[in-house]
Amino acid sequence: KTDFINFISDQEWKSIEPVSSWFGPSSFLMSSMSALFQLSMWIRHCHGYLTENVGIPVWGSYAVFALATLFSGLILGLVSEALETDWLV
């Protein structure tokens, strides 16, 4: 506590370089990182729901997420190819 008070009263904070806007809390990069962490927590919650409430075995839950990953990649690939074809024509 005293170190913090001395840091403020001695104005040592002026000698510290500010954080780049790229790494600021409201930047696109940090917002994206936050979204990824929230997605991982949502996946963890879904895994717990599938194994505890629905009664699916752990390997079954992993299979569900693996299939969801494959299908979402397939859909994103098809959409990107469709957009690329429309842009080139």
Say yes or no to pLDDT of 20 above 80.
no
Asked, for residue 15, whether it belongs to a domain, the answer is no
55: containing domain: 27-88
Domain count of the chain?
1
Q: Is residue 46 part of a domain?
A: yes
Residue 12 domain flag: no
Q: Would you place residue 87 in the very low, low, confident or very high pLDDT band (cuts 50, 70, 90)?
A: low
Q: Write the DSSP string, the chain.
A: -HHHHHHHHTTGGGGSPPPPGGGSTTSHHHHHHHHHHHHHHHHHHHHHIIIIII---HHHHHHHHHHHHHHHHHHHHHHHHHHHHHHH-
Residue 34 lies in a domain: yes
pLDDT digits (tens, 9 = 90+) for 68-84: 999 999 999 999 988 88
Report yes or no on 21 lying in a domain.
no
What is the tens place of the pLDDT at every residue in 44-56?
Answer: 999 999 999 999 9
13 falls within a domain: no
